């Protein structure tokens, strides 16, 4: 927990003393003190098939975020701070209940960066209690290598984004002009530790170890997506597992006009065709037409509800 003092848990390196919790701790860019806050614990069926399986991925959504993108699909928790203060025992109980009741395939920590000391403790506790489910670090890609080295013992699967190849776009939307450089170093470290997602080679339908990179296509920014995919291909090669996401929905009014609509079929097709042309071998794709006309995007959550996500039983 000393990592909360002079906090450098993410590349923002605010250096604030977050320890002391909500009453005494200071919040940095992520807006969170060392008081752990969680917005949701539950099975999630919107992840890629090797993580979702048949019983769902066991997600834990942490409140706050160190990136705070202006278009975040989870803005209720990342930017507006929705969530409840909890202690480690309470989270552990909720995770155990989720495992027991839903038989989820993994423990999926969604945006844990700014609460990593708690995340490490939670995983240690669960392992001591005999749980051996793979742990997924579901993260923005904006991570520092020294912190990832600390995570090596606790992570089995890394699921980073690679959001931007364009520094100006990263600066404008996420106030992180160094995003591409930082994320490429971070993804290299994740692959060094765990390799590529293992479900393709093992013949298993479920992943137990490795890295897969996600890229969300932003409306009006096809060139950023094309350059991001090219960069990933040149850095890591054709065997890098990629998840190409077309689910973007405007959730807040955005100053960039194109960001107030969903992706067009032409935009999606241009990016998808580029990914195929590059020759990525392991490519997960959300095809926009799979949503069906007039259907609310199934991946858009509402964290004010007990069950924020669509489930197959809805």
Minimum distance from CB of 2 to ligand SF4 (Å)?
Answer: 13
Q: Which is nearer to ligand SF4, 77 or 226 (CB)?
A: 77
CA-angle at 274, arms to 232 and 108, nearest 5°? 50
Question: Is 163 within 8 Å of 69 (Cβ atoms)?
Answer: yes
Subset of residues 105 to 134 that bind ligand SF4, contact rule: CB under 6 A: 114
CA-nearest of 45, 41, 76, 37 to 59 is 41
Q: For residues 274 and 268, give the distance between their C-alpha atoms in angstroms, rounded to a whole number.
A: 10
Task: Give the full edge-to-edge strand order of the sheet including 283-285.
Answer: 213-216, 242-245, 283-285
Residue nearest to ligand SF4 (CB): 28
Q: Which is nearer to ligand SF4, 14 or 95 (CB)?
A: 14
> 128: which residues sit within 8 A by CB, 6+ positions away?
none
- 28 counts as binding ligand SF4 under rule CB under 6 A: yes
Q: Which is nearer to ligand SF4, 52 or 140 (CB)?
A: 140
Interface map 63-102 toward ligand SF4 (x if CB under 6 A): ---x------------------------------------
Neighbours of 106 (CB within 10 A): 25
Question: Residues in contact with ligand SF4, total (CB under 6 A)?
Answer: 14
- 14 counts as binding ligand SF4 under rule CB under 6 A: yes
Q: Which of 19, 25, 30, 122 binds ligand SF4 (CB under 6 A)?
A: 30
Q: Which is nearer to ligand SF4, 73 or 111 (CB)?
A: 111
- 186 counts as binding ligand SF4 under rule CB under 6 A: no
Question: Is 137 within 8 Å of 112 (Cβ atoms)?
Answer: yes
Minimum distance from CB of 13 to ligand SF4 (Å)?
Answer: 5
- Alpha helix ranges (H) inside the chain: 21-24, 49-52, 75-78, 88-102, 116-128, 145-151, 167-174, 179-194, 199-202, 222-236, 265-278
- 9 counts as binding ligand SF4 under rule CB under 6 A: yes
Interaction site with ligand SF4 (CB under 6 A): 7-10, 12-14, 16, 18, 28-30, 66, 114
């Amino acid at each position: 927990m000393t990592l909360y003092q002079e906090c450098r848990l993410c590349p923002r390196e605010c250096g604030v003393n977050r320890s002391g919790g909500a009453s005494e701790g200071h919040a940095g860019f992520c807006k969170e003190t060392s008081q752990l806050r969680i917005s949701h614990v539950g099975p999630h069926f919107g992840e890629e098939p090797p993580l979702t399986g048949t019983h769902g991925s066991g997600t834990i959504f942490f409140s706050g975020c160190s990136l705070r993108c202006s278009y975040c699909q989870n803005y209720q928790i990342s930017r507006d701070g929705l969530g409840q203060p909890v202690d480690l025992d309470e989270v552990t109980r909720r995770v155990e209940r989720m495992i027991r009741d839903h038989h989820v395939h993994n423990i999926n920590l969604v945006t844990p960066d700014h609460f990593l000391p708690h995340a490490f403790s939670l995983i240690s506790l669960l392992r001591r209690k005999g749980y051996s489910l793979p742990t997924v670090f579901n993260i923005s890609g904006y991570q520092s290598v020294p912190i990832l080295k600390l995570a090596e013992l606790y992570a089995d699967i890394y699921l980073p984004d690679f959001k931007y190849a364009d520094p100006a776009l990263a600066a404008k939307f996420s106030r992180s002009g160094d995003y591409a450089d930082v994320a490429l170093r971070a993804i290299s470290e994740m692959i060094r530790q765990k390799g590529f997602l293992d479900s393709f080679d093992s013949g298993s339908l479920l992943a137990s170890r490795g890295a897969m990179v996600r890229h969300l296509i932003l409306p009006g920014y096809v060139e950023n997506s094309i350059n991001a995919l090219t960069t990933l291909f040149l850095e890591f090669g054709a065997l890098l597992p990629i998840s190409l996401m077309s689910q973007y929905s405007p959730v807040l009014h955005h100053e960039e006009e194109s960001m107030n609509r969903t992706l067009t079929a032409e935009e999606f097709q241009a990016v998808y065709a580029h990914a195929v042309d590059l020759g990525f071998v392991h490519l997960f794709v959300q095809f926009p037409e799979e949503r069906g006309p007039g259907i609310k995007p199934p991946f858009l959550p509402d964290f004010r509800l007990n069950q924020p996500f669509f489930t197959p039983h809805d």
